[in-house]
């Protein structure tokens, strides 16, 4: 989670009201999903607990949330002046970094506090929300040093020279990647590119080489700067729009005047149209009060709920049980009515919710699936297998690519923090193979199993997903095969009293002719076989592996 530093007096100035430090620590900063980790003189170190709210990663965003609970209710409104600047996008950028969105903010009064927050927000958004500049890279420039129109294009590695930020000598893009500290750090983002992206103005002055470095001339913002040009670039237009709105709204809260920019995408580019950015228009959503009260366990009236939403910086209008809301353009985290309900309970106060005993008398008991899982685990342990636990999150490379499978449906994380944890697993065998690959130094034979949840897409359910509990078992030794794994499967199912049969069937992860589906009650409940040499090589496993996987919920016994 992002950790940021803010000046206490500067924060109070932005809030517009004096909030004692103890009150800020114990109450106010919680409204912005933060905690005060450290106080060092006038500086506060805050730990922000929400990785999906980049608008909270600066003093301006935190103050905006707190102010709503201290009298400044309602939707923040941002006026955007008509554009006077054009950015022309060269179709060549499609091959390296296809999209950019831009804005101008004028009449800023930049002191050390403002400058530190601009730099901090820029870095936090690009590094965390932008996945270390891969999805979003941000450039902020002294606009008075720029002559429009600006061109977003590409150049060859030795095709141009400019002085990169904090350097004094001109360098080519290739030299920057090889010699500049930022070039070395972000060089991997341009691997395989024959040309590199670049922003250049009408006077031939280079603004930056995204996602790596600004120029020292235009790309240095100082307390003397009054007007700034902002650009965000990356691979997803919507992602960059959100980042731009976060930056622009923060500067507008400092008194800046927002001016739009025309970004022209010509024929030859996938977008093929002119867009005007930033788009600061509020977004719409509707919630049902009955659903909210049921979820939160409180009995709010429609007017009370609307008032709490106003404190959360929404515009809310109640009509019966329906509440129509507008929320700010800098927020991209509202995807479900529960997201709106969360803001209601934050404004209400978690500590204000009074616990109450359930009115329905019930008798407790173990969940049937838990009983089944424990029984299966006991049998597997008795068969000499060791139980392991792995993560539900994985990635397509492990779940499909290394398993020799071309594709398959999976539930993916939209804004991933790490590419290693980008999808929910749909089966467990890949996790067992990863376990075996990391334990090649351990004595053989190795016999492991896992009982765990997999997440499958389901278009019918409200969440579009379905939790399915599965059992997977893998055996590895110098000599191991179909017979050994089938005997383990047989011992398990016979002990459980499950009638079954095996039917030969090809599977992409297994040796052709040495794999089968497990059928019980006329339904396929799992797969079994010898893992193919190609899959073993993908995992770096040196000894043969045989395995099976069963959908426990399909077993009848």
Q: Could you read off the pLDDT of 448-469 as tens digits, one per residue?
A: 999 999 999 988 888 889 999 9
What's the pLDDT at 375?
93
Q: What angle do CA 392, 393, 396 make, to 5 degrees?
A: 125
Torsion of CA 396, 397, 400, 404, to 10 degrees: 170
Q: Could you read off the pLDDT of 27-84 as tens digits, one per residue?
A: 999 999 999 999 999 999 999 998 889 999 999 999 999 999 998 999 999 999 999 9
Q: Which domains does the chain have, with CATH numbers?
A: 3-69 (3.30.56.10), 80-277 (3.50.40.10), 301-348 (3.30.56.10), 368-554 (3.30.930.10)
Rounded-to-integer distance, Cα 500 and Cα 524, Å: 10
Mean pLDDT of 170-194: 93
CA dist 316 to 19, 283, 303, 343, 451, Å? 27, 12, 9, 12, 46
| pLDDT band (50, 70, 90) for residue 171 | very high
Give percent of the chain above pLDDT 70: 99
| Cβ contact 251:108 at 8 Å | yes
Residue 359 clears pLDDT 80, i.e. is over it: no
pTM of the full structure: 0.74
DSSP state for residue 271 in the 8-state scheme: S
Rounded-to-integer distance, Cα 453 and Cα 427, Å: 9
Q: Could you read off the pLDDT of 110-145 as tens digits, one per residue?
A: 999 999 999 999 999 999 888 889 999 999 999 999
Residue 421 clears pLDDT 70, i.e. is over it: yes
Q: Could you read off the pLDDT of 428-439 as tens digits, one per residue?
A: 999 999 999 999
What's the pLDDT at 483?
87
Residue 86 parent element (H or E): strand 80-89
Residue 557 clears pLDDT 70, i.e. is over it: no
């Amino acid at each position: 989670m992002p950790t940021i530093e803010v000046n206490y007096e500067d924060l109070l100035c932005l809030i517009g009201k004096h909030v004692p430090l103890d009150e800020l620590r114990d109450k106010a900063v919680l409204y912005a999903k933060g905690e005060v980790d450290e106080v060092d003189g006038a500086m506060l170190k805050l730990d922000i607990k929400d990785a999906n709210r980049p608008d909270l990663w600066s003093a301006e965003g935190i103050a905006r949330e707190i102010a709503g609970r201290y009298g400044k209710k309602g939707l923040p409104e941002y006026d955007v002046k008509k554009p006077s600047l054009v950015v022309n996008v060269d179709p060549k950028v499609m091959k390296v970094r296809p999209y950019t969105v831009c804005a101008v903010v004028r009449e800023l009064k930049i002191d050390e506090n403002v400058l530190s927050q601009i730099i901090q927000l820029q870095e936090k958004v690009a590094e965390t929300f932008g996945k270390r500049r891969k999805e979003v890279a941000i450039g902020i420039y002294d606009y008075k040093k720029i002559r429009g129109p600006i061109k977003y294009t590409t150049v060859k590695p030795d095709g141009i020279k400019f002085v990169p930020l904090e350097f004094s000598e001109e360098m080519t893009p290739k030299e920057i990647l090889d010699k500049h500290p930022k070039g070395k750090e972000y060089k991997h983002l341009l691997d395989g590119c024959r040309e590199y992206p670049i922003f250049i103005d009408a006077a031939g002055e280079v603004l930056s080489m995204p996602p790596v470095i600004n120029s020292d001339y235009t790309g240095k913002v100082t307390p003397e700067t009054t007007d700034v040009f902002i650009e965000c670039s990356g691979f997803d237009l919507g992602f960059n729009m959100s980042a731009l709105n976060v930056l622009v709204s923060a500067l507008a809260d400092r008194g800046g005047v927002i001016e739009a920019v025309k970004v022209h995408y010509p024929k030859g580019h996938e977008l093929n149209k002119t867009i005007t950015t930033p788009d600061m228009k509020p977004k719409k959503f509707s919630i049902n009060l009955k659903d909210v009260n049921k979820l939160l366990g409180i009995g709010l009236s429609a007017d009370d709920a609307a008032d709490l939403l106003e404190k959360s910086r929404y515009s809310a209008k109640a009509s019966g049980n329906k509440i129509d809301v507008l929320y700010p353009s800098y927020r991209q985290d509202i995807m479900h009515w529960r997201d709106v309900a969360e803001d209601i309970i934050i404004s209400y106060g978690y500590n204000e919710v009074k616990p109450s005993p359930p009115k329905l008398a019930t008798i407790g008991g173990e969940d049937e699936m838990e009983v089944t899982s424990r029984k299966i685990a006991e049998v597997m342990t008795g068969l000499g297998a060791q139980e392991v636990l792995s993560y539900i999150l994985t990635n397509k490379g492990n779940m499909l690519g290394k398993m020799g499978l071309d594709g398959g449906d999976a539930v993916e994380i939209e804004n991933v923090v790490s590419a290693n944890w980008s999808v929910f697993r749909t089966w467990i065998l890949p996790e067992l193979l990863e376990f075996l690959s990391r334990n090649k130094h351990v004595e053989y034979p190795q016999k492991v199993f896992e009982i765990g949840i997999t997440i499958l897409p389901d278009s019918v359910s409200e969440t579009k997903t379905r939790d399915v509990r599965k059992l997977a078992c893998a055996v590895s030794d110098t000599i191991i095969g179909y017979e050994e794994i089938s005997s383990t499967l047989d011992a398990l199912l016979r002990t459980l009293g499950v009638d079954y049969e095996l039917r030969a069937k090809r599977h992409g992860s297994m040796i052709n002719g040495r794999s089968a589906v497990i059928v019980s009650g006329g339904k396929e409940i799992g797969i079994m076989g010898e893992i193919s040499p190609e899959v073993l090589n993908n995992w770096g496993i040196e000894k043969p592996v045989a395995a099976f996987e069963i959908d426990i919920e399909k077993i009848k016994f």
